[in-house]
């Protein structure tokens, strides 16, 4: 018998994906901070790195603590910590304060990402979980896209880009208040309490290890495409930087469309065959970038690559939670820790680009997608 969707419980959890998307403001914020304090490129890069660092350091401990405190409490704590971080620049605006702000933003967002997905599992009908996870990622993508536009508007209209942080902080607090007022019956682990040993012990399970590496690969590939596609297009078609940078927006547009369509399609298609389909689509897109005879054709294939890659994260996450739903806190911690692939794969792509050629670096991204294709065949057999 199919479960009914309880929107009173679902909506405040989905709002947490809006709050989750606020972290992507670090991109445009870093540019303004660099300009305001006349930082070097090297010094400015410590700001976004401070955010990404916490995904690696805190994800597993957060999953363990969440097993004791509960998913809703952990999610609320993350949103409040993030709100505090967003408010620090209004206490005093300095590079040191922005460093502290980004630190709290990273800590808070890590807690949000670790807790939001398994809590969404608790308020979703089982057959609709992949669809709602994809919807959550679509919501996050829209916020990521809108953030720089809002910051630019506020900078032009009010001569203060930091107002976007105030808007985000207020929404974070309101989202936490709504969730706190919403009673949710959380699933409990049927095993003993989570620990570092039990959490990392899950990697002995072949399926869990494969899913964690899948998240590592797909996030790494996505970040690598975003940070390197302009150089690849310049090398292939001798474009200006301004024209080549359009490729980044094209890839992001493909991902956004993928997450919206994924949220709809996954109501009727099982996640296992869907993963095989999108892995093939992504590989066609990557191959097309290498073989395209003109840059406009390459843009089409970049969009296709985004269509393939956009739904991989929520599908892989749902497969892992489905496999061991009773260990969702530990699974979530491991998978969010694997997001650190976004800090590992791009430097490898950069090394190949520097010492071989930008075009050759596409093969590193292609290898990541080939791994996802293999995973899709593996889970389909299972």
* Range with the largest mean pLDDT of 71-80, 110-119, 245-254: 71-80
Neighbours of 196 (CB within 10 A): 13
Half-sphere exposure of 256 (CA within 13 A, CB side): 15
| Residue range 183-230, pLDDT digits in tens | 998 877 655 666 777 778 888 889 999 999 999 999 989 888 877 888
Quick one: pLDDT at residue 176? 97
- As its CATH architecture, domain 200-381 has Up-down Bundle (1.20)
> What average pLDDT does the segment 304-324 reach?
90
3-state secondary structure of 2: coil
Separation CA 202–CA 356 (nearest Å):
38
Cα–Cα distance for residue pair 346/56, rounded to 1 Å = 16
Q: What was the pLDDT predicted at 2?
A: 58
pLDDT above 70 for 249: yes
Same topology, domains 10-183 and 200-381? Answer is: yes
Q: What is the 3-state secondary structure (H, E, C) of 226-294?
A: HHHHHHHHHHHHCCCHHHHCHHHHHHHHHHHHHHHHHHHHCCCCCHHHHHHHHHHHHHHHHHHHHHCCC
Query: Which residues, at least 6 apart from 322, have a Cβ–Cβ distance to it below 8 Å?
Result: 129, 271
Q: Is the pLDDT of residue 326 over 80?
A: no
Q: Can you tell me the mean pLDDT for 240-267? A: 84
> How many CB atoms are closer than 10 A to CB 285?
24
Contact between residue 212 and residue 334 where contact means Cβ atoms under 8 Å apart: yes
Distance from CA of residue 121 to its chain's centroid?
17
Q: What is the average pLDDT across 368-376?
A: 97
Domain boundaries of the chain, sorted by first residue: 10-183, 200-381
Distance CA 77, CA 110 (A): 11
314 in Cβ contact with 259 (< 8 Å): yes
How does DSSP classify residue 159? S
Cα 358 to Cα 371: distance, rounded to the nearest angstrom: 21
d(CA 319, CA 372): 13
pLDDT at 162 over 70: yes
Can you tell me the distance from the alpha carbon of 301 to that of 306, in angstroms, rounded to the nearest whole number? 9
Q: What global pTM score does this model have?
A: 0.76
The whole-chain average pLDDT of the chain stands at 88
Q: Is the pLDDT of residue 169 over 90?
A: yes
* The pLDDT value given to residue 303: 96
Rounded alpha-carbon distances, angstroms, from residue 366 to 190, 220, 281, 358: 40, 11, 12, 13
Is 367 in a helix, a strand, or coil?
helix
More reliable by pLDDT, 16 or 49: 16
**177-187, pLDDT tens digit by residue?**
999 999 998 87
Query: pLDDT tens digits for 58-99?
Result: 888 888 888 888 999 999 999 999 999 999 999 999 999 999
Q: What is the pLDDT of residue 382?
A: 67
Q: Residue 1: what pLDDT? A: 46
Mean pLDDT for the stretch of residues 371-376: 97
Query: In CATH, what class is 10-183?
Result: mainly alpha
User: Sorting pLDDT into bands at 50, 70 and 90, what band is 11?
Assistant: very high
Task: Using a pLDDT cut of 90, give the percent of the chain over it.
Answer: 45
What is the DSSP annotation of 97-158? HHHHHHHHHHHHHHHHHHHHHHHHHHHS-GGGHHHHHHHHHHHHHHHHHHHHHHHHHHHHHH
Residue that is written with structure tokens 């200006």 in the block: 240
Place 377 in a pLDDT band, splitting at 50, 70 and 90.
Answer: very high
């Amino acid at each position: 018998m199919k479960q009914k969707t309880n929107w009173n419980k679902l909506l405040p959890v989905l709002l947490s994906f809006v709050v989750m998307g606020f972290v992507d403001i670090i991109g445009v914020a870093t540019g303004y901070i660099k300009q305001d304090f006349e930082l070097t490129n090297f010094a400015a890069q410590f700001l976004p790195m401070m955010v990404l660092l916490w995904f690696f350091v805190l994800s597993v401990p957060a999953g363990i603590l969440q097993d004791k405190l509960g998913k809703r409490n952990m999610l609320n704590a993350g949103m409040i910590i993030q709100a505090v971080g967003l408010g620090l620049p209004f206490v005093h605006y300095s590079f040191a304060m922005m460093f502290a702000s980004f630190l709290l933003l990273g800590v808070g967002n890590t807690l949000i990402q670790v807790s939001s997905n398994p809590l969404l599992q608790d308020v979703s009908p089982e057959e609709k979980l992949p669809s709602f996870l994809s919807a959550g990622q679509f919501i996050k993508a829209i916020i990521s896209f809108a953030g720089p536009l809002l910051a630019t508007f506020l900078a032009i209209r009010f001569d203060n880009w930091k107002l976007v942080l105030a808007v985000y902080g207020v929404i974070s607090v309101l989202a936490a208040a709504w969730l706190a007022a919403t009673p949710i019956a959380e699933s409990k682990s049927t095993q003993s309490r989570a620990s570092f040993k039990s959490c990392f012990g899950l990697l002995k399970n072949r399926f869990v290890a494969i899913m964690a590496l899948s998240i590592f690969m797909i996030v790494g590939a996505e970040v690598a495409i975003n940070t390197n596609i302009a150089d690849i297009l310049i090398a292939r078609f001798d474009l200006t930087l301004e024209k080549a940078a359009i490729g980044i927006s094209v890839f992001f547009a493909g991902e956004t469309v993928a997450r919206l369509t994924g949220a709809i399609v996954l109501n009727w298609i099982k996640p296992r065959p869907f993963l095989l389909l999108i892995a093939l689509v992504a590989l066609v897109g990557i191959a097309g970038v290498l073989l395209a005879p003109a840059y406009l054709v390459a843009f089409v294939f970049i969009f296709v690559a985004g269509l393939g890659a956009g739904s991989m994260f929520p599908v892989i996450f749902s497969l892992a939670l489905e496999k061991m739903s009773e260990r969702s806190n530990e699974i979530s911690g491991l998978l969010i820790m694997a997001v650190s692939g976004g800090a590992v794969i791009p430097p490898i792509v950069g090394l190949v680009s520097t010492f071989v050629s930008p075009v050759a670096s596409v093969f590193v991204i292609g290898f990541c997608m080939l791994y996802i294709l293999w995973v899709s065949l593996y889970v389909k057999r299972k």
